[in-house]
Amino acid sequence: MVTEYGDYAFLPSSLSRLFPAPDTGRKDYREWNALSIRELHVCLALDNCGVNQRKVALLASHWFEESIVRGYTGGEGIWARSMYKHLKAMGYTTIFADSFEEALAIYRHFPSLVSVVIRNNAGECHSDPKCVMSEANPTGIPAWKIFDFEYFPATTTGYIEGSLMKGKWVLSANPEQGNRSVIQYIGYSVEDDCRRIPPIPLSQRKDQIFILMKQLTYANDARFAWNRSYFPLASSELGVSFTGAWLVDEHWGWNPEEMGPLADIEDRERGVVNLINGAGAGANRTALLSPQRWAEEVGMSKAMLGVGNPWWSPSPYHALCAGVPFINPITEFDPNDPWNRDKWRTQHGSLDHLDPPYVYHVHKQNYTGFVDALKAATTTEIPSFIPSYMTEAAVRERVRYLMEHEWKEEARKLLEERKAGRGRVYIRALMLSYRSRDLKRCPAAPMRHRLG
């Protein structure tokens, strides 16, 4: 399985035949855990573990098991799957958990082997004396091993129940604009998936623009970037259809009793087409296109159009990899300085630095900019494009860094900063890692909270 980092030791056949493999129908992550733990115990007993097999990544965010075991394909799921793929490729042991209580129980089986515990709402454990390691709870999880799994970067606004360690203990799928060095950007890659299908030459594609919209709600809420009249008007002017795959669910981010009925944008006679059959009332996520069909439709399109929502979706990267340019709505800007990117808020902030012919940035409610961008995008061929920081190799290196870096030493530096009175540093549960007299030099403060 692993060549670069040594062989992962699977169960010997004499043992593997005694235990059933995880049942793909039940989709129970505990069956996957049982296999990983058996492999770890056996390789420890036989002293034949792979180079990284003794290092455990405890994946305690529900996004991991929902993606890996149950097939969830939303943004968080794509990120989780990408991280998991590289952990496995490098031969690390991975174990799932669905709560901090479960993570703590697993951690206590082999605390010295667990390198990281990854979960959203990391602050829940940091502030819980029954979860985090302390003098009163010496078998808890050390604060410096707990990493916050946060898809959206928000170092400026923070997170509900976010990591009290902050900084590099906050993992993100996307780099923060203008503040890229604060959090720990892990990211994901769509390279392997997208390159299974070679890009289609522009001349062989359908005369269609793919609308990035999984729910009709996106075309009805306040973040909708366009006027719905733009679609039939531009379809007539450019000779293209606007094609997408969206559900019509009046209770997804919408309250029809208070907000009225959802107004659909589909108008097949005027070039606006929803590919989902039976997308109306009562439809659910099972009606969405399969990942394969979705990729085929995107690859056969001449451009992908954002509508303002969802933020930070992986889909534009799939499009760019397939040689399909993306129209990125600018939803907030300074009307006196409209092209100053430092003052923008766009649908996909991590694409703000890219320019045509790959990404076209268009101010909301600007039909001229809308149709001009689409005209250029649908007539200008681009090669398959993946940003250098989003290749599989780049993501693997960042995952390796997460697993191999000396985070205990980084926590010690935080403690020194606190002693020097610099910044707001959480030091709960560092007590067992460093000498008590060092901690006694710190100004007195409640240990359950950030120290100011």
- Vertex 131: Cα angle to 125 and 137 (nearest 5): 140
Q: Which residue has the tokens 């909708």?
A: 224
In terms of average pLDDT, the best of 247-251, 334-338, 417-421 is 334-338
Question: What confidence score (pLDDT) does residue 152 get?
Answer: 86
Q: Which amino acid is at 366?
A: N
In terms of average pLDDT, the best of 17-21, 31-35, 164-168 is 31-35
- With a cut of 50, say whether residue 276 has pLDDT above it: yes
Of 61-65, 78-82, 176-180, 353-357, give the lowest mean pLDDT range.
Answer: 176-180
Note whether 164 and 450 are within 8 A (CB).
yes
Superfamily of segment(s) 192-385: Glycogen Phosphorylase B; (3.40.50.2000)
Mean pLDDT for the chain overall: 89
Using alpha carbons, select from 214, 218, 362 the residue that is nearest to residue 298: 214
Q: Which two tokens stand for residue 165?
A: 């360690």
Q: Which residue has the tokens 């149709």?
A: 371
Q: How many CB atoms lie within 10 A of CB 326?
A: 26
Question: What confidence score (pLDDT) does residue 158 get?
Answer: 58
Residue ranges of the chain that CATH labels 3.40.50.2000? 192-385
Q: Which two tokens stand for residue 175?
A: 């780099």
Question: What confidence score (pLDDT) does residue 431 get?
Answer: 41
Question: What confidence score (pLDDT) does residue 4 get?
Answer: 59
pLDDT in tens, 351-400: 999 999 999 999 999 999 999 999 999 999 999 999 999 999 999 999 99
Tell me how far apart the alpha carbons of residues 172 and 149 are, in angstroms, rounded to a whole number.
6
Question: What confidence score (pLDDT) does residue 338 get?
Answer: 98
Question: What confidence score (pLDDT) does residue 176 get?
Answer: 74
Burial of 229 (0-12, 13-18, 19+ CB in 10 A): exposed
Question: 417 pLDDT band (50/70/90 cuts)?
Answer: confident
340-346 long-range CB contacts below 8 Å, 24 or more apart? 342/178
pTM for this prediction: 0.89
| Measured distance between the N- and C-terminal CA atoms of the chain, rounded to whole angstroms | 48
The predicted model gives 408-421 an average pLDDT of 82
Question: What confidence score (pLDDT) does residue 179 get?
Answer: 54
Question: What confidence score (pLDDT) does residue 10 get?
Answer: 94
The predicted model gives 416-429 an average pLDDT of 62
Q: Which two tokens stand for residue 339?
A: 């092209």
pLDDT in tens, 159-204: 667 888 888 999 999 987 655 568 899 999 999 999 998 999 999 9
Question: What confidence score (pLDDT) does residue 376 get?
Answer: 99
Question: 426 pLDDT band (50/70/90 cuts)?
Answer: low
Q: Between 416 and 12, where is the model more confident? A: 12
Per-residue HEC secondary structure of the chain comes to: CCCCCCCCCCCCHHHHCCCCCCCCCCCCHHHHHHHHHHHHHHHHHHCCCCCCCCCEEEECCHHHHHHHCCCCCCHHHHHHHHHHHHHHHCCCEEEECCCHHHHHHHHCCCCCCEEEEEECCCHHHHCCCCCECCCCCCCCECHHHEEEEECCCCCCCCCCCCCCCCHHHEEECCCCCCCCCCCEECCCCCHHHHCCCCCCCHHHCCCEEEECCCEHHHHCCCCCCCCCCHHHHHHHHHCCEEEECCECCCCCCCCHHHHCCCCCCCEHHHCEEECCCCCCCCCCHHHCCCHHHHHHHHHCCCEEECCCCCCCCCHHHHHHHCCCCEEEEEEECCCCCCCCHHHCEECCHHHCCCCCCCEEEEECCCHHHHHHHHHHHCCCCCCCCCCHHHCHHHHHHHHHHHHHCCHHHHHHHHHHHHHCCCCCECCCCCCCCCCHHHHHCCCCCCCCCCEC
Question: 48 pLDDT band (50/70/90 cuts)?
Answer: very high
Tell me how far apart the alpha carbons of residues 448 and 428 are, in angstroms, rounded to a whole number.
6
Q: Between 167 and 209, where is the model more confident? A: 209
Tell me how far apart the alpha carbons of residues 248 and 266 are, in angstroms, rounded to a whole number.
11
Alpha-carbon distances of 276 from 125, 235, 271, 285, rounded to whole Å = 42, 20, 15, 11
The predicted model gives 208-235 an average pLDDT of 96
Q: Which two tokens stand for residue 48?
A: 């034949």
Using alpha carbons, select from 68, 98, 102 the residue that is nearest to residue 83: 68
Alpha-carbon distances of 195 from 150, 157, 225, rounded to whole Å = 27, 36, 31
Question: 451 pLDDT band (50/70/90 cuts)?
Answer: very low
Tell me how far apart the alpha carbons of residues 429 and 434 are, in angstroms, rounded to a whole number.
10
- With a cut of 50, say whether residue 440 has pLDDT above it: no
Tell me how far apart the alpha carbons of residues 308 and 313 are, in angstroms, rounded to a whole number.
11
Question: What confidence score (pLDDT) does residue 279 get?
Answer: 53
Note whether 312 and 75 are within 8 A (CB).
yes
Question: 432 pLDDT band (50/70/90 cuts)?
Answer: very low
pLDDT in tens, 135-154: 899 999 999 999 999 998 76
Report the DSSP beta bridge partners of residue 148. Answer: 119, 170
In degrees and rounded to multiples of 5, residue 257 shows phi and psi of: -65, -35
- How many residues in total does the chain contain? 452
